[in-house]
Amino acid sequence: MNPAAADLLDVEADFSSEERETQGMVREFVDRRIRPNIAAWYADAHFPQEIIAEMATLGLLGMHIKGYGCAGKSAVQYGIAMQELEAGDSGLRTFVSVQGSLAMSAIAKHGSEEQKQRYLPGMAAGEIIGCFGLTEPTAGSDPSTMATTAVREGDQWVLQGVKRWIGLASIAQVAVIWAKVVDESGRSRVRGFLVPTDTPGFTATPIEQKLSMRASIQCDITMEDVRLPADAILPENPGLRGPFSCLNEARYGIIWGALGAARDSFNAALEYSQHRVQFDKPLAAYQLSQAKLVNMALEIQKGQLLALRIGRLKDQNRLENHMISAGKLNNCRIAIDVCREARTMLGGNGVTLDYSPLRHANNLESVRTYEGTDEVHSLILGQHLTGHSAFR
């Protein structure tokens, strides 16, 4: 199987030697550790903690962060890594995103120097797992309505509240929890807190019976009188801009990652069509099959050009928020369509875990939803185009 079969314009030729090295390194890891096992992991709803150490050795955890034991790679290198990981499975790319783009980014962007030194080296080494608690049962697309609170009592903070769909929470050692705090002026603002998960009153319960992201962990969190020291608060960037800046890091990775799932599904359909014979010739020899393959390849190629453009802009510090929304909206949308179309070429065999497209399509239902739904990113782009906010 040629993983670059959909690269009709030879876009990968524009990758630097360092970028190609990252691609090859992560692709080899996926081929060796993930592909042979992912069907069983998905069927058994098993998250393979046994591969975390090697992910850390490869520099994948917080790989965009500079210093503190992190790899300090470029935005494009990070994107390429996410694409290769998601060609294996969205759930395993999600682990790297939650650990690096969300939990580690929150500490790197908003934490004190002491907090960075305490957590980031261990998180980069895979010795400390983090999670990022923003979403709540009644506060998803609108986190400003969160009900979790943090109240100062003497030299402690006391947290109360619930969170939902929090990746890795049941295996994490530290949780970045976003809560409302009433400041001296009486104004309520969202602030971040670093919560050791063994703190009394903190409970994380895995969400089971999922039809998507089965090789990944998502949890409900409850906090009842969770008491933290005064220095548990993230001191920088109060308000929703704190979590939103982390979400943008994760959204950027998704722009690339979703294409990995689409590319893998396309390749599965292409390979199958070359060998599956019906009516005395392979499926690939039929016009309808070729039309499907061409349309999938074109969408993947356009998405790749979009991802690379956004990555170059990010490396040049020229990336704007609406551009991230354009990439996340477009590439998730086309990726899930490609995976579903690829499944049709596999016939009945395509509904088994012997082939990847339907697994990818199921995972992408989650990817399309988290870090901003299609509707949220449409409204962000609509506001950019018109100057009018239509969120309320």
Catalytic positions: 371
Tokens 């010795």: give the residue: 127
Token pair recorded at residue 258: 């979703």
Is-contact 148 160, C-beta < 8 A? yes
Q: Round to whole Å and give the CA distance between 152 and 144.
A: 20
What whole-number distance in Å separates Cα of residue 137 and Cα of residue 241? 21
Rounded Cα distance, 166 and 255, in Å: 21
Label the pairing between strands 202-206 and 149-153.
unpaired
Q: In sequence order, what are the residues at sequence separation of 6 or more whose Cβ sits closer than 8 angstroms to the Cβ of residue 346?
A: 268, 269, 272, 355, 357
What's the Cα-to-Cα distance from 126 to each of 99, 175, 321, 332, rounded to whole Å?
9, 15, 30, 28
Closest CA to 178 of 121, 232, 108, 254: 232
Per-residue H/E/C for 98-143: HHHHHHHHHHHHHCCHHHHHHHHHHHHCCCCCEEEECCECCECCCH
